[in-house]
Amino acid sequence: MKRIFLFAALAGFATTATQAANFGELKGPAVRKALSGKTVYLSASGIVLPIKYRTNGTMSGNLKASAAAFTGGASAQDSGRWWIAKDQLCQQWKRWQGGKSWCYKLSRQGQNVVWVRNDGRRGTARISS
């Protein structure tokens, strides 16, 4: 009986640890690990934007032509750089967003990530390898 209880307790701990890893705010090294070398499908204002975060700190995005037209004629493609500062993802596009840098707090919720920009704007994203 003690073995069954111990096994159940350990299984419960493992489940809780796994859930904690899949939920909650990502910080510093966890942000880098989650994004580096991955494509993030950012959802904002009804548009999905795939962003490739390269391991060298550069990034690129590619809107479909229809989405670019919807956003007021923004260029369909752009590139920029990304970095980690104060446990947040920071990034700066060359043309998009007026070339201004923004930082984001990221929280993992299962397979998705919730992002909150430093001006309060928020949305969701899906990370793919």
Q: Looking at the domain assignment, is residue 15 inside a domain? A: no
- For 94, the domain range is 24-128
Q: How confident is the model at residue 4 (pLDDT cuts 50, 70, 90)?
A: very low
- The CATH number covering residue 124 comes to 2.40.128
Do the domain assignments include residue 18?
A: no
pLDDT tens per residue across span 61-85 = 988 754 554 455 567 899 999 999 9
Return the number of other C-beta atoms located less than 10 Å from residue 47's C-beta.
Answer: 14
Would 108 be classed as within a structural domain? yes
Q: pTM here?
A: 0.75
DSSP classification of residue 28: T
Bridge partners for 24 per DSSP: 108
Q: How many domains does the chain have?
A: 1
In a domain, 73, yes or no: yes
